[in-house]
Structures are given as C-alpha cells and as structure tokens.
Amino acid sequence: EEDIHYAVEKELMRRIGPVGGKMHTARSRNDQVATDLRIYLKREIGLVENLIDNFQKALVEKAGENIDVVMPGFTHLQPAQPVLAAHHLLAYAWMMQRDRERFADCYKRTDVLPLGSAALAGTSFNVNRQYTAKLLGFENISENSLDAVSDRDFAAEFVFCVSLTALHLTRFCEEIILWMNPEFGYITIDDKFTSGSSIMPQKRNPDCAEVIRGRSGRIFGDLVALLTIIKSLPLAYNRDLQEDKPPVFDALDNIKMCLEVISEMTESLKFAGERTLKSTDKGFIAATEIADYLARNNVPFRAAHGIVKDIVLYCRKKSKTLNELSIEEYSGFSKIFKKDIFKYLDAKSIANMKTSYGGTSKKSVLRQIDNIKQKLR
C-alpha cells in the first residue's frame, strides 16, 4: 500500500468486498488528512485544557494555604515591595487562565471541516457537507476548497498556544529554582522532583523544574519548524505538508508531560514563611510606602520620592535599615514624619494596604481565589 489511506481502503474491501472501493468517492487524501489532523487536535486541545486546569487548581490550593505568608516582590530581580505569597502564586493561575482561553479560541478555528473539498477544487458529486460535519462532530465547514486542503493555520496556532504555555511554565520553574537556592530558601519541594550529585552529597538539584525549562526550547523549535514548513507554499496541497505532524506531535507530547509534572510539583511546594518574611527586611522594601505616606500628607509624589531616596542613601551610608531609624532621623528629612510612620514599615501591614482591585492585600487575594475558582472545571 502507498499509505495509510490505501491500507484502510484495501482492508475494508477485504472485509466487505468491492463495494468498499466506493468509500473514496468524492474524497481525496488532501482533504482526508486535513480532516484527520483537525479531529485529532480537537480531542487533544480538550486534554491540554484539562491539564492546565489541574495546574491552576494546584496553584489556587497553595495560594489558600499560604494566604498569610509575606515575601518580597521583585522587579529586575531586586527587592521591590512586599506581597503575599498567595498573590504571587495566583499571578501564574491567571497566566494559565489566559492560556486555557487561548486554547479554547484555537479550538473554534480547528472545528472547521475540510472534507468534501476533495483534491483542491471541490467535487461534482452532490455531497451534503453540513451532514458530514454533523456526523463527524464539526461545528462548521470550510468555505473555500483551495484554502481548506492547504490550511495548516490551525496547527500552527495550536503549537503557538503550546509554546506560550510552555513559556509561562518556564517562568514559574525559574522561580522554583531560585526560591530553592539556599541563598533564598523560600520553599522546599518533594524529593522526587529533585536529584542528588554523583560527587557532592549535599545537593538537592531541582531537576524537574530545569527539565521543564529546557523542554520549552524544543517546543519553540517545533513552532519555528512548522512555520518554516508552511512558509511560501503555493496553493493548494504540497508534499511539504506531510512534515507538519512531527512538530505538532512533539510539542503536544512535551507540553502534556510538563503540565503533569508541574502540577504534582506544585502540590508538594511548601513555603518557609519565617524566611520569606525575614527577607523583606532587605533592600529597603518599605521605601515606596514611606513615599506614599508623604503623598497622603499632601507632599507631591515626585518630591516624596526624592525625600525617600535621600533617606535610603542615608541608611546605606550608616549601614542601617529603615526600621532602625529614629523618629528624629526621619524628621530631619521632613517635618511631615510622625511616630505613626513606623506602622508603615511592617511588611505584612504594607502588603495588606494594597487594597486596590487585583492588589496584594489579603482581602483582594481572597477575592481573586473566589473569582478564579469560578473559572475552573
């Protein structure tokens, strides 16, 4: 047999006789293979969405468990402002929500039946394509036969969705790797997600997070490979398109593996709350709140920013933290400062002052948890 299409037809004729040869009426391998790939991806998109949902549930569960854990938030990987650990975890839950919605949108464009387009020009047989679509579970049929047999946009879009999901996983994995480093010491994960060293007995290497981070490069390569295959192809079908499946299958297999592992790894994650809170003492993390304190007392924010910058420079020169300054030292920079300034230096209080919608206050984070739970399956 030349290929699977002929093999199936031959087997059917073996079983039921020459009438099996009529199966290929009004069909071409061109529209058949496009249909097969769409049917396959429709099923797999649903499976990937379920895996994303599982990861989101793990993140939301951990957020609930760590609702009172305070940690530094970073910009440029430098201490910036205190946030709740739950708020940080939920950032990834919302990121993954966009990924799920992106796959759902991709499904709509995959759910288009090309069968009946034949080789490229349609067919002279009086076929009912709408009925065929109903039988095969498709919502829509293609509008142009030339486009239908050569279209692989849906496959490229799927691999793009996979790539962006993988990218988001790498961001989380990178933070797992950083937080596990003893210099941070923010978290621990189960031993089964780590490995030792053949020479260094003390090592607990975050292997699973590193492998997921590394697999993203392979998935990105699948996207580039598929785009390059489709690039510059004239209408309609070309044999180049037989190469579309390896990158699709590879990207799919890898993202499913990554999502399964990262969900389990997240379920095992434990925060060292005392350590994360102690880390908020570093990097003058209360500086923004001090500037806001001045602004709330009618100091223009730009002027307040300058005052606090001078305070930080003073602290660095004196090797002091913001908490170690006296009210007299604060008053030396601005008479606005009163003794109540010290309540604005507590990291947990600062985090819970961020009451704006989507902020890191406990009230806001609990609302986020409720909102995202409504979107989970």
Q: What are the residue numbers of the active site?
A: 76, 197
Peptide bond just before 236 cis, omega within 30 deg: yes
Contact 109, 154 (CB under 8 A): yes
Under a CB-based contact definition with an 8 Å cutoff, are residues 82 and 350 in contact?
Answer: yes
Report the alpha-carbon distance of residue 28 to residue 149 in Å, rounded: 9
Residues 218 and 145: their CA atoms lie apart, in Å, by: 34
Rounded Cα–Cα distance for residues 241 and 222 (Å): 14
The percent of the chain in helix, strand and coil, each rounded to the nearest 5, is 65, 5, 25
Amino acid in the structure at residue 45: I
Residue that is written with structure tokens 């790498």 in the block: 170
**Contact, 283 vs 75, CB < 8 A?**
no
Collapsing DSSP to helix, strand or coil, 113 comes out as strand
